[in-house]
Every structure is written in C-alpha cells, then in structure tokens.
Amino acid sequence: MYKGKKILCVIPCRGGSKGLPGKNIKNLLGKPLIAYTIRHAALSKYIDRTIVSTDSKKIAAVAKKWGAEVPFLRPKRLAQDNSTTIDALLHAMDWMERKEKFFFDILVLLHVTTPLRKPEDIDKSIELLFREEAENVFSVTEAHKNPYFNMVKLTGSGNAKLVKKGSYASRQAAPLVFDMNCSVYVWKKHVLKNKKSLFNAKTRIYRMPKERSVDIDDLLDFKIAGFLLKNG
C-alpha cells in the first residue's frame, strides 16, 4: 500500500514462447527465470498482492513454489501469439475484484523477461506516479541507437541513404531518446480500465540504467542476463 492506495501486481507468463522455448521457467543460475520477478515483487515496500497470470499448469506450479499466487489459469483465447498483455491484465483485474473481492487502486505489471531490475525500481515507479500525479508510468533506458543521428535506410534501388531526422553534428547534440525496457509498468486502475492504453494524457517514464534493462528474448539475451547477474 502507498499513500492509502492498495496495489496489485500482475506477472503475465504464458506458456508459448517462440524466441526461447520454455524461457519463463528456464534455469538461470540455479533458479527458474520467473523466480527473480516474483522475488522483486515480494521485496517491494508497496505491493499488497502478487499474482501470476498464466495458461500453463507447469508455470503455475513453479510460480506457487516460489511464492506467487496463481488464483486462475488464463483462458487460452488470451494466451495466443496475437493476444495483448493489456487484455490479460484486464482479465486478471476483473477476476481479482469479482472472484477474490480484492479491490485495489494501482496496477503494477512486471514482465518475467527482465530479471535484472531491483525492487527499488518498482517502488520508485510507484512513487513517481503519485509525485507527478500521472495516469501511468513505465520504465525505460537510454536508447542504444539514436534515430536522430547516423541512421541509414535503403532506397528502392538498394543505395544506402541517411535517415534525416534533424541536423545534428554529434550524437550528444541530438534529442535524448529511450528504449522501453519492458521491466516496470504502473497504472492507476481506472485509467487502464477506461483507456486500455500505455500512452495517455499524462504518462511519465522511469529511467533505468542499461545494466538493469536486459530484456530476454533469445538465448543470447539469456546468457547476457546470466553473466550480469553472476558478476553483480
């Protein structure tokens, strides 16, 4: 709870993974990947309840073993390749209020694929939501490549051509841009229910360093995350 507002954390974790099959419970330095995110939520000062939304009985069993609640199995229609995370969140929110009678004010989304975040990243995102009187907050890291500087495209004839988004003599002079690092998302409940959007009238970003922003999509990402975790 923060400033009298109850907070629900949802960890979406469907069974189908194309880039790295089984990655959500794949062993990473002795623990299944999902365990890191469950631990982060447990160490948050403000989260009241943490649930995992999954369509997989195997993932559900692992999540429960590592301390998360799994009050339902997500319907298959919400666990397809074209299913949206927001639809899964809306289903989880509705379930918790109708079935569990758990009424809350703030929704936190944590993806399993970003095991290098810290609990403080979650708490600072929540604090930012209130401090800025924002509708929602999501985490970012400084972009690896700046689209305003030294970006190249191919013409119809196959020639390389500079993508012109401004006249900047150096990367430092170009506008600062960010990558969404898929780590922490926070919404006011009514905003998510009514607008069903990540970009709203008052959306704020929480900046995270690159070393905590690895988002695991394939085996290389998995190995990088393991290296960084092992080396502190």
Domains of the chain: 7-143+177-230 (3.90.550.10)
* Strand 31-32, strand 106-110: pairing: unpaired
Q: What is the mean pLDDT of the chain?
A: 93
Confidence category of residue 107, pLDDT binned at 50, 70, 90: very high
- DSSP element (H, E) containing 180: strand 178-188
Is the confidence at residue 30, as pLDDT, over 70? Answer: yes
Buried b (16+ CB within 10 A) or exposed e, 74-105: beeebbeeebebbebbbbbbebbeeeeebebb
Rounded (10°) angle between helices 33-43 and 57-65 = 50
pTM (predicted TM-score): 0.91
Per-residue pLDDT tens for 44-68?
999 999 999 999 999 999 999 999 9
Confidence category of residue 222, pLDDT binned at 50, 70, 90: very high
- DSSP element (H, E) containing 39: helix 33-43
